[in-house]
Copies of this chain bind each other. A is one copy, B any other.
Amino acid sequence: MAIAATEPTAVRAFGPGTALSCRECGERYELSPIFACGFCFGPLEVAYDFGNVSREEIESGPKNIWRYRSLLPVPDNVAELPNMNPGLTPLVRADRLAAELGLSSLHVKDDSGNPTHSFKDRVVAIAVEAARTFGFTTLSCSSTGNLAGAVGAAAARAGFESCVFIPAGLEEGKVVMAAVYGGKVVAIDGNYDDVNRFCSELIGDPAGESWGFTNVNLRPYYAEGSKTLAYEIAEQLGWRLPDQIVIPIASGSQLTKIDKGFQELIKVGLVEDRPYKVFGAQATGCSPVAKAWENGHDVIQPVKPDTIAKSLAIGNPADGPYVLDIAQRTGGSIEHVGDDEIVDAIKLLARTEGIFAETAGGVTTGVLRKLVREGKLDTEAETVIVNTGDGLKTLNAVDAGVTATIKPSLKAFTEAGLA
């Protein structure tokens, strides 16, 4: 740390990152591939010493997340390294959806625009740089699908071996996208929580040596990638925080990191300090955080997921308690919607805005609608929702198909009632 601070011309492997810090007890550790506090077993996260960060520097940077490298634990020269370079996805002004729901200002942060079409490219991009720095040769992960594709692609681009672990029975689009990059894809008989436990076991085994698990032993770095969603939303709103934001919850990490990103922007003076409300969205079939919120608990009761929103099907969400804190602190809430409402919301978003979201996006849009219906959102306030993935990966969730099949003639066209 001291070296990096006094010799700013040398490439700093973690940029402004200075240490790992325990989220529970505050104990600090050297930046290394560890993820849990040796004293209290709390999760570790990256601590920073931010220098002077200006809007101008960011705006003149790369058209991807590396424009925010002064706020991320990545090498100073990250933009020159082989990486998927995700980010700067569209913030879509959703006037037609807003009108249909009775909102005066709504934007959709559409992260299906990332290279493998989910927000996971953001977190993996940071993990890849940490893996490179630590000398890992294989990239790995436990995944509900999107992460597996993001890791497979990023490993291919950066020249790592890869081996990803998914629960058996995932959507075809997610399996093919994980496998096509040439790495290993191992299906585990069980759900995501079983996959995750297995990966933790593998890390302690010699078989897992030299493996960087993006969301396990690289998790403190990986998780920081989600902060870039917050940075982009604020920059795309004209360097302003939204009044209200609705974010899907799987592990809860994304929601906590978006909040962290907003706080950092305030801290370094890039945006004005003003109140914002954070709302979390879950599928009813996997809603442990929403249930805890409903019941006023601060402990999350794990559940066995049963929902079409497989990318959110984490029954034991690690960051659940932090999510509850943030909803409480900001005056938001955590809601859930059932599978039918998810499908209906996917179609609503597609029909009004031309955005084809995966099931997770249906959850977020469905919860947005529910929040409006129940009077929990301020319909006059500036609202943002986050679409984290792409409908092409969950095709079977929607029953859209051809209206009619006809012969190529005007007669057939008319007779089919299409004229």
Binding site for B on A (CB under 8 A): 63-64, 82, 84-85, 88, 90, 93, 95-96, 110, 113, 115-117, 152-157, 159, 163, 166, 168, 172-173, 175-177, 179-182, 184-190, 194-195, 197-198, 201-202, 205, 207, 346-347, 350-356, 390-393, 395, 398, 400-410, 413-414, 416, 418-419
Nearest-CB residue, chain B, relative to A168: B405
Q: When the two chains form the complex, which single residue of B95, B202, B391, B419 contacts A207, counting CB atoms closer than 8 Å?
A: B419
CB pairs A–B below 8 angstroms (15 shown): A63-B88, A90-B115, A115-B354, A153-B356, A156-B353, A175-B402, A177-B391, A179-B402, A181-B354, A184-B403, A184-B418, A186-B405, A189-B407, A198-B409, A207-B413
Give the docked Cα–Cα distance between A182 and B95 (Å): 17
Task: Evaluate contact between A157 and B354: CB separation under 8 angstroms.
Answer: yes
Give the docked Cα–Cα distance between A101 and B7 (Å): 40
Task: Evaluate contact between A202 and B413: CB separation under 8 angstroms.
Answer: yes
Chain B residues within 8 Å of A352, by CB: 156
Give the docked Cα–Cα distance between A413 and B95 (Å): 51
Give the docked Cα–Cα distance between A405 and B190 (Å): 10
Task: Evaluate contact between A408 and B195: CB separation under 8 angstroms.
Answer: yes
Chain B residues within 8 Å of A182, by CB: 347, 350-351
Task: Evaluate contact between A418 and B186: CB separation under 8 angstroms.
Answer: yes
Give the docked Cα–Cα distance between A207 and B190 (Å): 54
Task: Evaluate contact between B153 and A392: CB separation under 8 angstroms.
Answer: no
Task: Evaluate contact between A406 and B186: CB separation under 8 angstroms.
Answer: yes
Task: Evaluate contact between B408 and A116: CB separation under 8 angstroms.
Answer: no
With A180-B350, A390-B392 already in contact, 8 other A-B pairs whose C-beta atoms are closer than 8 Å: A82-B95, A116-B356, A153-B355, A176-B398, A176-B400, A181-B351, A188-B405, A189-B407
Task: Evaluate contact between B159 and A392: CB separation under 8 angstroms.
Answer: no
Give the docked Cα–Cα distance between A187 and B356 (Å): 21
Most chain B CB atoms below 10 A, which of A116, A156, A205, A352: A156
Most chain B CB atoms below 10 A, which of A88, A96, A408: A408
Q: Which 6 A-B pairs have the closest CB atoms?
A: A153-B354, A179-B400, A157-B354, A182-B351, A198-B408, A207-B419
Most chain B CB atoms below 10 A, which of A88, A175, A395: A395
Chain B residues within 8 Å of A82, by CB: 93, 95-96
Distance to closest chain B CB from A233 (angstroms): 15
Most chain B CB atoms below 10 A, which of A93, A110, A116, A188: A188
Nearest-CB residue, chain B, relative to A391: B180
Give the docked Cα–Cα distance between A205 and B85 (Å): 49
Chain B residues within 8 Å of A195, by CB: 408
Chain B residues within 8 Å of A156, by CB: 96, 350-354
Task: Evaluate contact between B401 and A207: CB separation under 8 angstroms.
Answer: no
Distance to closest chain B CB from A113 (angstroms): 6
Give the docked Cα–Cα distance between A408 and B393 (Å): 25
Q: When the two chains form the complex, which single residue of B154, B175, B188, B354 contacts A406, counting CB atoms closer than 8 Å?
A: B188
Distance to closest chain B CB from A386 (angstroms): 16
Chain B residues within 8 Å of A184, by CB: 403-404, 418
Task: Evaluate contact between A194 and B356: CB separation under 8 angstroms.
Answer: no
Most chain B CB atoms below 10 A, which of A117, A198, A402: A402
Chain B residues within 8 Å of A350, by CB: 153, 156, 180-182
Chain B residues within 8 Å of A408, by CB: 188-190, 194-195, 197-198
Task: Evaluate contact between B189 and A354: CB separation under 8 angstroms.
Answer: no
Chain B residues within 8 Å of A90, by CB: 64, 85, 115
**Known contacts A157-B96, A392-B393, A395-B176; is A410 also within 8 Å of B202 by CB?**
yes
Q: When the two chains form the complex, which single residue of B207, B390, B400, B407 contacts A188, counting CB atoms closer than 8 Å?
A: B407
Chain B residues within 8 Å of A418, by CB: 163, 184, 186
**Known contacts A186-B402, A392-B390, A401-B176; is A181 also within 8 Å of B356 by CB?**
yes
**Known contacts A168-B405, A207-B414, A405-B187; is A392 also within 8 Å of B173 by CB?**
yes
Give the docked Cα–Cα distance between A152 and B350 (Å): 9
